[in-house]
């Protein structure tokens, strides 16, 4: 259980890059390494460096300033969550841009707040850059979080450094909701594995389980979280349809037996 | 009793693609227009066979694109259709949403969608949804019931595919018959578009089947399953040919030629069906008997040879029928 406590303890930024300005002197790859350990100041510095350019990319695609802001916001949440999957830390900028592009495409497809509805094929044709693979790549846990943010999000706040705050809030809300589908033990293992990047052996030591049981737990949890992610997503889908006054249920007479 | 069994058989087929098409027709304005026999004949499903020459793999019958298995057949019954751009799973929720919307839109119009591998790797029908419960209501040859949205990500073949009817066409019945015959002959010659060259379709399918028995590496389940599918299909081929004289009872040259040549082809296909019936008894589905036992294999080869030779003769007659109908006077 102490693993979980430790994870929770990481909520304060003080014990991380605490002296003002230190982050500004580091290279992107060093910041990425720090961000991977959960260092939010390091991630904040990455955000400061690349936000403007990412916004430019999003604006070019959407031609809508407010929508572009939203997209970059959500892309940053995604980047933060997925930073451990970035193979080459030196390429953070390009990686972020791709997330932004994917996110922008998704927004456009669904019709952004401006109500501009486009079909995916229209956009794909317009931009001609997105392979199916790229589209699918933006598909991990974070995609679900996007949707939670999109559907349950609040009005953007205008504090001096809103990014980090918002990112944190949304991320925790989203993950919290998702991980509710796990029991206490599964959650402890899953959090240790996903956030702290502990190996199954380390987890088995920390939680007093066999390595085999850790493996089983991770794989079972992953499946449960994936299902839960879909469940949460379609809960939003149903709500959206209800808001629009569209039917949420229709069952035709059963067909002849095949 | 015999009548009852016959009656039941007329509404069921081992070719799930045709079964799914037939099920869909019941929701359209054409619901009384076609029998399952018509569907099997006009889609060409009554005349299909696709065999892997090594093991008689159970994948044979469905190793074709959905265009071949579903869309062309629907077109020839007077319907336009569109396919969901299928995708492998697991997929992100947005993809699943595309598929679910695809099904919902047609259900909202009152016609189910056809889905692939919903409960088992066969075609089935998606006829309802509930967004609150997050379920699709589906029916396939194995069962009828709810399929949770999340389960789309865990289908047996890790692939989501759907097809739906988009509209109706005006169709000349004679053109439809000609199109069907053209497809049947093309298929018999092994010239249909296929997804894998290692499987052999049409008349060459029987040779591939014989080759598999000679190789002694027959998959008992695959063999029995293909025997069920092909045998069942040929029963429909027989019924389809038998039904033609009544359908084409007029005095025109075309109708006369349909009557005479369909009846000339009929006994050949009766022989094929008969041979495959004996074959099925020897290798009962699903456990499949002992196809790799030399005595059984020798008997199997005899029966398949009878089937192949008769089908070759029968197809030649149908080809003549096609040519006759294509003549302009």
From chain A, pick out residues whose CB is under 8 angstroms from the CB of B123: 258
- Whether the CB of A245 is below 8 Å from some CB of chain B: the reply is no
d(CA B74, CA B42): 9
Q: Which of A167-181, B46-60, B147-161 has the lowest mean pLDDT?
A: A167-181
User: Are A252 and B112 a contacting pair at CB < 8 A?
Assistant: yes
Instruction: Note whether B92 contacts A251, CB cutoff 8 Å.
Output: no
Give the residue-averaged pLDDT of A37-51.
78
Q: Please, which pLDDT band fits residue A50 given cuts at 50, 70 and 90?
A: confident
CA distances from B195 to A127, A251, B59, B301 (A): 31, 34, 11, 27
Q: A253 and B127: CB-CB below 8 Å? A: yes
Q: Check B144 against A257: CB less than 8 A apart.
A: yes
C-alpha A226/C-alpha A159 separation (Å) is: 34
Question: In sequence order, what are the beta bridge partners of B138?
Answer: B126, B145
Q: How far is A18 from chain B (nearest CA, A)?
A: 38
Phi, psi dihedrals of residue A255, rounded to the nearest 5°: -75, 170
Q: Identify which has the larger pLDDT, A100 or B242.
A: B242
Say which range, A52-66, B76-90, B160-174, B196-210, has the weakest mean pLDDT: A52-66
Looking at the predicted structure, is the pLDDT value of residue A145 above 60? no
CA closest to B8 among chain A residues = A257
Look at the domain B173-325 and name its fold: 1.20.120
Interface contact flag, B139 A258, Cβ < 8 Å: yes
Q: Cβ–Cβ of A258/B137 closer than 8 Å?
A: no
For B308, list phi and psi in degrees, rounded to 5. Answer: -60, -45
Contacts of B155 in chain A (CB under 8 A): none
Q: Which of A87-91, B187-191, B308-312 has the lowest mean pLDDT?
A: A87-91
Average pLDDT over residues A100-121: 53
A234 vs B131: CB contact, 8 Å cut-off? yes
Say which CATH topology domain B2-33+79-168 has.
Cathepsin B; Chain A (3.90.70)
Nearest CA in chain B to A144: B93
- A43-47, A75-79, B92-96: segment of lowest average pLDDT: A75-79
Per the model's pLDDT, the better-predicted residue between A95 and B19 turns out to be: B19
Contact status of A227 with chain B (Cβ, < 8 Å) = yes
Pairing outcome for strands B113-116 and B123-130: antiparallel
The residue to which tokens 């390494």 are assigned = A33
**Which DSSP category does A197 fall into?**
-
B122 contacts on A by Cβ (under 8 Å): 258
- Is the per-residue pLDDT at A5 higher than 90? no
Q: How many residues does the structure list for chain B?
A: 329
Q: Tokens 């009544």 correspond to what residue? A: B246
Per-domain boundaries in chain B: 2-33+79-168, 173-325
Beta bridge partners of B128: A251, B137
What is the mean pLDDT of the segment spanning A124-147? 36
pLDDT at residue B80, rounded to an integer: 96
In this predicted structure, what is the pLDDT of residue B320?
97
Are residues A256 and B23, on separate chains, in Cβ contact within 8 Å?
yes
Whether residue B73 has pLDDT greater than 80: yes
Q: Where are the alpha helices (DSSP H) in B199-293?
A: 203-215, 220-247, 253-282
Name the residue among B93, B110, B129 with its Cβ closest to that of A143: B93
Residue B216 pLDDT more than 90? yes
Q: Is the peptide bond before B76 cis (omega within 30 degrees of 0)?
A: no
- Looking at the DSSP assignment, which residues form a beta bridge with residue B201? B50
CA distance B298 to B303: 9
Segment A202-206 mean pLDDT:
80
CB contact under 8 A, B107 and A250: yes
Those residues with Cβ within 8 angstroms of residue A142's Cβ, 6 or more apart along the chain or in another chain: A77, A78, A81, A82
pLDDT computed for residue A219 by the predictor: 81
Identify any residues that bridge with B145 across adjacent strands, giving them in sequence order. B138
Least confident of A42-56, A187-201, B13-27, B148-162: A187-201
- CA distances (Å), B69 to each of A82, B42, B179, B261, in order? 42, 12, 15, 26
Select the residue from B31, B90, B92, B107 to test the A interface by mutation, using most A Cβ atoms within 10 A.
B92
Q: Identify which of A237, A238, A254 has the shortest CB distance to residue B144.
A: A254
Under a CB-based contact definition with an 8 Å cutoff, are residues B115 and B102 in contact? no
B75-106 burial code (b ≥16 CB/10 A, e <16): bbbbbebebbeebebebbbbbbbbbbebbbeb
**Could you tell me if B107 lies within 8 Å of chain A, comparing CB atoms?**
yes
| For the ranges A2-11, A73-82, B189-198, B274-283, the one whose mean pLDDT is highest | B274-283
Residue B31 CB burial class (10 angstroms; 0-12, 13-18, ≥19): exposed
Distance of CA B79 to the CA centre of its chain: 17
- Percent of chain B's residues with pLDDT above 70: 97
The pLDDT score that the predictor gives to residue B37 is 96
A143-152, A160-169, B103-112, B243-252: segment of lowest average pLDDT: A143-152
Q: Beta B113-116 vs A249-251: how paired, if at all? A: unpaired
Looking at the complex, does the CB of residue A238 fall below 8 Å from at least one CB of chain B?
yes
- Listed by number, the residues of chain B in 124-183 with a beta carbon closer than 8 Å to a beta carbon of chain A are 124-125, 127-134, 137, 139-141, 144, 149-150, 153
Q: Given B22, B124, B131, which is nearest A241 (Cβ)?
A: B131
Q: Are B37 and B233 in contact (CB under 8 A)?
A: no
Average pLDDT over residues B135-154: 95
Task: Give the rounded percent of residues in chain A with a pLDDT score beyond 70.
Answer: 56
Residues in chain A: 258
Neighbours of B33 (CB within 10 A): 12
Please say if the pLDDT value at position A136 is more than 50.
Answer: no
Q: Is the pLDDT of residue A148 over 90?
A: no
* Closest C-alpha to B192, from B43, B24, B41: B43
Size of interface A-B (CB pairs under 8 A): 104
Per-residue confidence at B233, pLDDT binned at 50, 70, 90?
Answer: very high
Q: Give the CA radius of gyration of chain A.
A: 20
Dihedral of CA atoms A237, A238, A239, A243 in degrees, nearest 10, equals 100
pLDDT band at A133 (very low <50, low <70, confident <90, very high): very low
Rounded to the nearest angstrom, the minimum Cα separation between B158 and chain A is 15
Report the mean per-residue pLDDT for chain A: 66
Asked if A250's CB is within 8 angstroms of B93's CB, the reply is no
**Min Cα separation A257/chain B (Å):** 7
* Residue A156: pLDDT over 70: no
Residue with the bigger pLDDT between B117 and A52: it is B117
pLDDT score, position A21? 60
Largest CA distance in chain B: 62
């Amino acid at each position: 259980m102490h693993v979980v406590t430790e994870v929770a303890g990481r909520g304060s930024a003080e014990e991380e890059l605490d002296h003002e300005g230190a982050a500004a002197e580091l290279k992107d790859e060093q910041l990425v390494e720090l961000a991977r350990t959960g260092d939010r100041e390091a991630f904040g510095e990455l955000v400061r460096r690349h936000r403007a350019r990412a916004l430019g990319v999003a604006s070019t695609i959407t031609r809508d300033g407010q929508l572009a802001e939203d997209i970059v916001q959500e892309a940053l949440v995604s980047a933060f969550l997925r930073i451990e999957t970035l193979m080459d830390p030196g390429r953070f900028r390009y990686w972020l841009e791709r997330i932004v592009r994917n996110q922008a495409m998704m927004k456009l497809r669904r019709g952004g707040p401006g109500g501009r509805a486009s079909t995916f094929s229209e956009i794909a044709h317009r931009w001609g850059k997105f392979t199916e693979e790229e589209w699918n790549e933006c598909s991990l846990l974070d995609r679900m979080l996007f949707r939670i943010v999109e559907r349950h999000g609040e009005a953007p706040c205008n504090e001096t450094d809103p990014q980090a705050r918002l990112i944190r809030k949304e991320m925790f809300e989203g993950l919290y909701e998702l991980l509710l589908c796990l029991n206490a033990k599964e959650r402890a293992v899953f959090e240790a594995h996903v956030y702290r990047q502990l190996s199954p052996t380390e987890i088995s030591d920390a939680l007093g389980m066999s390595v085999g049981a850790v493996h089983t737990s991770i794989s079972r949890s992953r499946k449960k979280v994936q299902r839960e992610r879909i469940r949460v997503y379609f809960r939003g889908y149903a709500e959206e349809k209800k808001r629009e006054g569209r039917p949420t249920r229709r069952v035709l007479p059963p067909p002849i037996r095949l | 009793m015999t009548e009852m069994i016959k009656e039941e058989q007329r509404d069921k087929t081992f070719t799930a693609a045709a079964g799914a098409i037939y099920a869909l027709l019941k929701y359209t304005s054409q619901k009384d227009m076609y029998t399952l026999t018509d569907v099997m004949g006009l889609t060409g499903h009554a005349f299909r066979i696709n065999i892997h020459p090594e093991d008689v793999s159970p994948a044979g019958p469905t190793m074709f694109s959905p265009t071949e298995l579903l869309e062309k057949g629907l077109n020839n019954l007077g319907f336009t259709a569109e396919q969901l751009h299928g995708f492998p799973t697991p997929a992100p929720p947005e993809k699943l949403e595309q598929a679910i919307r695809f099904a919902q839109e047609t259900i909202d119009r009152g016609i189910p969608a056809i889905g692939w591998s919903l409960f088992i790797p066969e075609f089935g029908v998606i006829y309802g949804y509930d967004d609150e419960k997050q379920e699709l209501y589906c029916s396939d040859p194995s069962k009828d019931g709810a399929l949770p949205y999340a389960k789309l990500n865990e289908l047996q073949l890790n692939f989501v595919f759907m097809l739906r009817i988009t509209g109706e066409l005006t169709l000349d019945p004679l053109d439809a018959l000609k199109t069907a015959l053209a497809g049947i002959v093309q298929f018999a010659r092994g010239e249909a578009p296929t997804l894998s060259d290692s499987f052999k379709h049409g008349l060459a399918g029987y040779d591939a089947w014989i080759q598999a028995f000679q190789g002694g590496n027959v998959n008992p389940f695959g063999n029995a399953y293909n025997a069920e599918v092909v045998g069942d299909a040929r029963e429909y081929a027989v019924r389809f040919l038998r039904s033609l004289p009544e359908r084409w009872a007029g005095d025109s040259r075309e109708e006369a030629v349909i009557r005479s040549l369909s009846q000339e082809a009929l006994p050949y296909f009766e022989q094929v069906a008969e041979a495959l019936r004996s074959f099925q008894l020897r290798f009962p589905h699903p456990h499949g008997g002992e196809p790799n036992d030399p005595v059984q294999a020798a008997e199997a080869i005899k029966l398949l040879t009878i089937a192949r030779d008769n089908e070759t003769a029968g197809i030649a007659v149908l080809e003549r029928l096609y040519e006759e109908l294509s003549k302009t006077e």
